[in-house]
Amino acid sequence: MRILGISIFLILFTFAFANEDFNSHVVDRPLIVEFFENNEPYLKRTLHLECTSWRFAGEANNLSPWKIIPQECADYVRQYITGGAYKMEIDRVSSEAGAFAESMKLGDK
């Protein structure tokens, strides 16, 4: 009799705490990704990230030898060079190089 009581308890316990819908065809997430007609902001952001990645790889000298800027990144590079970010980076590198050079001891001094 005790085994029957434990079995009933376990069965009821399982049903009480189960959080499963018995319909196995219901999916919580869509299986098809929908792209909306106005995905231009997404494409611009993706292009900006790709061009930033390309620029960073070029600055770190991690690109294969390249001769021209990718056409899709031409506007990005033009904005980067003429927009002030390039000058800020050059100024930073120059001041850091100057500080390093001043910290070096030459000869017997």
**pLDDT given at position 74:** 92
Cα distance between residue 102 and residue 87, in whole Å? 22
Taking residues 6-31, report their average pLDDT: 66
**Domain locations along the chain:** 39-109
**pLDDT tens digits, one per residue of 38-54:** 777 778 888 999 999 99
More confident residue, 11 or 47: 47
Q: pTM above 0.85?
A: no
Cα distance between residue 95 and residue 19, in whole Å? 62
The pLDDT confidence band at residue 21, using thresholds 50, 70 and 90, is low
Q: Is the pLDDT of residue 23 over 80?
A: no
